[in-house]
Amino acid sequence: LEAGRRAASRIDAIVNGAGIPVVGHIGLTPQTAVALGGFRVQGKSVAAAQSLIDDALALQDAGCFAIVLEAMPSLVAETITRLLSIPTIGIGAGPHTSGQVLVYSDMMGIFDRFTPKFCRRFADLAPQMESALAEYKGDVRARKFPQEGVHTYAMPPVAEENWRQHVQQMYGLELDKPVAVASGTIACTSKAAVKESGSLQV
Protein backbone atom coordinates (compact mmCIF):
# COMPACT_ATOMS: atom_id res chain seq x y z
CA LEU A 1 0.00 0.00 0.00
CA GLU A 2 1.63 3.25 -1.15
CA ALA A 3 1.11 5.51 1.85
CA GLY A 4 2.78 6.77 4.97
CA ARG A 5 1.50 7.22 8.50
CA ARG A 6 -1.71 8.87 7.28
CA ALA A 7 -2.83 5.41 6.16
CA ALA A 8 -1.96 3.67 9.43
CA SER A 9 -5.58 3.31 10.55
CA ARG A 10 -6.59 1.81 7.20
CA ILE A 11 -3.68 -0.64 7.29
CA ASP A 12 -4.61 -1.63 10.85
CA ALA A 13 -8.17 -2.34 9.68
CA ILE A 14 -6.97 -4.36 6.68
CA VAL A 15 -4.42 -6.39 8.65
CA ASN A 16 -6.03 -6.82 12.04
CA GLY A 17 -9.64 -6.41 11.01
CA ALA A 18 -9.81 -8.31 7.72
CA GLY A 19 -6.73 -10.48 8.21
CA ILE A 20 -5.15 -9.45 4.91
CA PRO A 21 -1.32 -9.11 4.87
CA VAL A 22 -0.04 -5.69 3.79
CA VAL A 23 3.31 -4.51 2.44
CA GLY A 24 3.89 -0.80 3.03
CA HIS A 25 5.52 1.46 0.45
CA ILE A 26 7.17 4.79 1.28
CA GLY A 27 9.55 7.23 -0.35
CA LEU A 28 8.70 7.72 -4.00
CA THR A 29 5.17 6.38 -4.45
CA PRO A 30 4.52 6.17 -8.23
CA GLN A 31 0.73 6.15 -7.94
CA THR A 32 0.81 9.56 -6.26
CA ALA A 33 4.06 10.88 -7.74
CA VAL A 34 2.36 14.03 -9.05
CA ALA A 35 1.62 15.10 -5.48
CA LEU A 36 5.32 14.67 -4.68
CA GLY A 37 6.42 16.94 -7.52
CA GLY A 38 7.00 14.12 -10.00
CA PHE A 39 9.35 11.17 -9.98
CA ARG A 40 11.89 12.61 -7.58
CA VAL A 41 14.16 11.25 -4.88
CA GLN A 42 12.56 11.59 -1.45
CA GLY A 43 14.18 12.21 1.95
CA LYS A 44 17.11 14.37 0.86
CA SER A 45 16.80 16.85 3.75
CA VAL A 46 16.97 16.05 7.46
CA ALA A 47 13.30 16.92 7.90
CA ALA A 48 12.23 14.84 4.91
CA ALA A 49 14.34 11.90 6.05
CA GLN A 50 12.82 12.07 9.56
CA SER A 51 9.36 12.09 7.99
CA LEU A 52 10.19 8.84 6.18
CA ILE A 53 11.34 7.26 9.45
CA ASP A 54 8.09 8.34 11.11
CA ASP A 55 6.15 6.80 8.21
CA ALA A 56 8.07 3.53 8.43
CA LEU A 57 7.59 3.17 12.19
CA ALA A 58 3.89 3.95 11.89
CA LEU A 59 3.40 1.36 9.15
CA GLN A 60 5.23 -1.25 11.20
CA ASP A 61 3.05 -0.50 14.23
CA ALA A 62 -0.06 -0.71 12.04
CA GLY A 63 0.81 -4.28 11.08
CA CYS A 64 2.74 -4.22 7.80
CA PHE A 65 4.90 -7.32 7.45
CA ALA A 66 7.40 -5.55 5.16
CA ILE A 67 7.97 -2.11 3.66
CA VAL A 68 9.20 -1.07 0.21
CA LEU A 69 11.65 1.84 0.32
CA GLU A 70 11.79 3.58 -3.06
CA ALA A 71 14.06 6.31 -4.40
CA MET A 72 15.66 7.63 -1.24
CA PRO A 73 19.26 8.21 -0.13
CA SER A 74 21.07 5.02 0.79
CA LEU A 75 21.87 6.36 4.27
CA VAL A 76 18.20 7.03 4.99
CA ALA A 77 17.18 3.57 3.83
CA GLU A 78 19.90 2.00 5.97
CA THR A 79 18.67 3.94 9.01
CA ILE A 80 15.09 2.83 8.47
CA THR A 81 16.15 -0.78 7.94
CA ARG A 82 18.12 -0.83 11.18
CA LEU A 83 15.28 0.77 13.16
CA LEU A 84 12.61 -1.66 11.98
CA SER A 85 12.04 -5.25 13.06
CA ILE A 86 10.33 -6.11 9.74
CA PRO A 87 12.11 -6.53 6.37
CA THR A 88 12.64 -3.64 3.98
CA ILE A 89 12.69 -4.06 0.20
CA GLY A 90 14.73 -1.46 -1.64
CA ILE A 91 14.25 -0.05 -5.11
CA GLY A 92 16.59 2.84 -5.68
CA ALA A 93 17.39 2.87 -1.96
CA GLY A 94 20.92 1.52 -1.87
CA PRO A 95 22.44 -1.82 -0.83
CA HIS A 96 21.57 -1.82 2.88
CA THR A 97 17.92 -2.87 2.73
CA SER A 98 16.81 -6.38 3.62
CA GLY A 99 16.07 -7.21 -0.02
CA GLN A 100 15.92 -5.69 -3.48
CA VAL A 101 13.35 -5.38 -6.25
CA LEU A 102 13.37 -3.89 -9.75
CA VAL A 103 10.73 -3.45 -12.43
CA TYR A 104 11.46 -6.37 -14.73
CA SER A 105 10.75 -4.39 -17.93
CA ASP A 106 13.56 -2.02 -16.90
CA MET A 107 16.10 -4.63 -15.78
CA MET A 108 15.46 -6.89 -18.80
CA GLY A 109 15.69 -4.09 -21.34
CA ILE A 110 12.11 -4.52 -22.51
CA PHE A 111 11.37 -0.80 -22.25
CA ASP A 112 14.36 0.98 -23.75
CA ARG A 113 13.27 4.63 -23.88
CA PHE A 114 14.14 5.42 -20.29
CA THR A 115 16.02 3.63 -17.53
CA PRO A 116 15.99 4.99 -13.96
CA LYS A 117 19.39 5.81 -12.46
CA PHE A 118 19.01 3.10 -9.83
CA CYS A 119 18.30 0.39 -12.38
CA ARG A 120 20.88 -1.84 -14.02
CA ARG A 121 20.01 -3.64 -17.22
CA PHE A 122 20.75 -7.33 -16.99
CA ALA A 123 19.60 -8.09 -20.55
CA ASP A 124 18.47 -6.42 -23.76
CA LEU A 125 15.34 -8.35 -24.67
CA ALA A 126 13.47 -5.69 -26.64
CA PRO A 127 14.87 -6.74 -30.07
CA GLN A 128 14.18 -10.43 -29.43
CA MET A 129 10.65 -9.66 -28.22
CA GLU A 130 9.91 -7.50 -31.27
CA SER A 131 11.17 -10.27 -33.55
CA ALA A 132 9.13 -12.93 -31.73
CA LEU A 133 5.96 -10.84 -31.86
CA ALA A 134 6.44 -10.16 -35.56
CA GLU A 135 6.88 -13.89 -36.22
CA TYR A 136 3.79 -14.66 -34.14
CA LYS A 137 1.73 -12.08 -36.03
CA GLY A 138 2.90 -13.47 -39.37
CA ASP A 139 2.15 -17.08 -38.43
CA VAL A 140 -1.32 -16.20 -37.18
CA ARG A 141 -2.15 -14.30 -40.35
CA ALA A 142 -0.79 -17.14 -42.48
CA ARG A 143 -2.75 -19.64 -40.37
CA LYS A 144 0.42 -21.48 -39.43
CA PHE A 145 -0.43 -21.02 -35.75
CA PRO A 146 -2.14 -22.47 -33.87
CA GLN A 147 -1.68 -25.82 -35.61
CA GLU A 148 -4.48 -28.36 -35.41
CA GLY A 149 -3.34 -31.46 -33.55
CA VAL A 150 -0.20 -29.73 -32.22
CA HIS A 151 -1.43 -26.73 -30.23
CA THR A 152 -5.04 -27.83 -29.79
CA TYR A 153 -7.15 -30.08 -27.56
CA ALA A 154 -9.40 -32.79 -28.94
CA MET A 155 -12.54 -34.55 -27.80
CA PRO A 156 -12.44 -38.35 -27.59
CA PRO A 157 -13.31 -39.75 -31.07
CA VAL A 158 -16.74 -41.03 -30.13
CA ALA A 159 -17.65 -37.79 -28.35
CA GLU A 160 -16.35 -35.79 -31.31
CA GLU A 161 -18.52 -37.68 -33.78
CA ASN A 162 -21.55 -37.35 -31.51
CA TRP A 163 -20.87 -33.63 -31.20
CA ARG A 164 -20.69 -33.21 -34.97
CA GLN A 165 -24.02 -34.95 -35.34
CA HIS A 166 -25.53 -32.91 -32.51
CA VAL A 167 -24.43 -29.60 -34.06
CA GLN A 168 -25.66 -30.73 -37.49
CA GLN A 169 -29.09 -31.61 -36.13
CA MET A 170 -29.44 -28.68 -33.73
CA TYR A 171 -27.99 -25.86 -35.83
CA GLY A 172 -27.63 -27.22 -39.34
CA LEU A 173 -23.89 -26.56 -39.08
CA GLU A 174 -21.47 -29.01 -40.65
CA LEU A 175 -18.13 -29.02 -38.90
CA ASP A 176 -15.22 -29.87 -41.16
CA LYS A 177 -12.95 -32.72 -40.14
CA PRO A 178 -9.19 -32.11 -39.86
CA VAL A 179 -7.11 -33.98 -42.40
CA ALA A 180 -3.48 -35.11 -42.19
CA VAL A 181 -0.96 -33.43 -44.48
CA ALA A 182 2.36 -34.72 -45.77
CA SER A 183 4.45 -33.02 -43.09
CA GLY A 184 2.67 -34.92 -40.35
CA THR A 185 0.75 -31.87 -39.19
CA ILE A 186 -3.00 -31.44 -39.36
CA ALA A 187 -4.94 -29.04 -41.56
CA CYS A 188 -8.62 -28.32 -41.26
CA THR A 189 -10.80 -28.25 -44.36
CA SER A 190 -12.54 -25.20 -42.99
CA LYS A 191 -14.95 -23.12 -45.03
CA ALA A 192 -13.88 -20.16 -42.89
CA ALA A 193 -10.27 -20.68 -43.93
CA VAL A 194 -11.25 -20.79 -47.59
CA LYS A 195 -13.30 -17.63 -47.18
CA GLU A 196 -10.41 -15.85 -45.45
CA SER A 197 -7.58 -16.82 -47.79
CA GLY A 198 -9.44 -17.46 -51.04
CA SER A 199 -7.82 -20.88 -51.34
CA LEU A 200 -7.31 -23.98 -49.28
CA GLN A 201 -3.93 -25.56 -48.75
CA VAL A 202 -3.66 -29.12 -47.44
Catalytic residue numbers, as ranges: 70
Radius of gyration of the CA atoms of the chain, in A:
28
Cβ-based neighbour number of residue 89 at 10 Å: 19
**Cα separation, 141 vs 196, whole angstroms:** 10
Contact 91/68 with Cβ under 8 angstroms?
Answer: yes
What are residue 117's phi and psi, to 5 degrees? -55, -35
30: Cα within 13 Å, side-chain hemisphere: 7
Contact 68/25 with Cβ under 8 angstroms?
Answer: yes
- Strand, coil or helix: what is 162? helix
